[in-house]
Structures are given as structure tokens and as C-alpha cells.
Homo-oligomer: A and B are copies of this chain.
Amino acid sequence: MPFVNIKVTGGAEAPTAEQKAELISGVTELLQRVLNKNPATTVVLIEELSTDNWGIGGESVTVRRRKQ
């Protein structure tokens, strides 16, 4: 019955539909294996954010990427 919310950067670096499907099946299997949770009621939501909207270390990922 678990609920999983995965947030990643989107836009040019958004996951493909195939990658999203792999995340959904992978995390559902992980919860079944580790906690014996029922896959039928495991919900996984993937949300994509612009690199302008994602901050770490006090600056946006847009700015961090530019510096690298």
C-alpha cells in the first residue's frame, strides 16, 4: 500500500517513457522485496521540475550546470 513520489529534473534532461516505466517497476519491486508490500496497491508518482526550480547548495541546478 505504499506511496512513492519521485521528483527529478525535467526539460532537456527529462526521463523517457521507458525510463519512467523502469522507475515505476523498480521501486514497486523494491518495496515488495524489502517490506513485502502488495504491488497492486503501490502507487508511484514521478514529477519533473525545471532546472531553474531545483536548488541545491543555495543555487539553482541551471547555475550549477553552467559552472561545471
A7 to B1, CA, bound (A): 9
How distant is A22 from chain B, measured CB to nearest CB, in Å? 5
Q: How many copies does the complex hold?
A: 6
The answer to whether B30 touches A55, judged by C-beta atoms less than 8 angstroms apart, is no
Task: From B5, B21, B34, B52, give the contact of A63 (CB < 8 A).
Answer: B21
The answer to whether A29 touches B58, judged by C-beta atoms less than 8 angstroms apart, is yes
B-chain residues with CB within 8 Å of residue A9 when the two chains form the complex: 1
| Interface residue tally on A, bucketed by range | 35 or more
B-chain residues with CB within 8 Å of residue A7 when the two chains form the complex: 2-5, 45
Interface residues of A (CB under 8 A from B): 1-9, 15, 17, 19-31, 33-35, 37, 39-49, 52-63
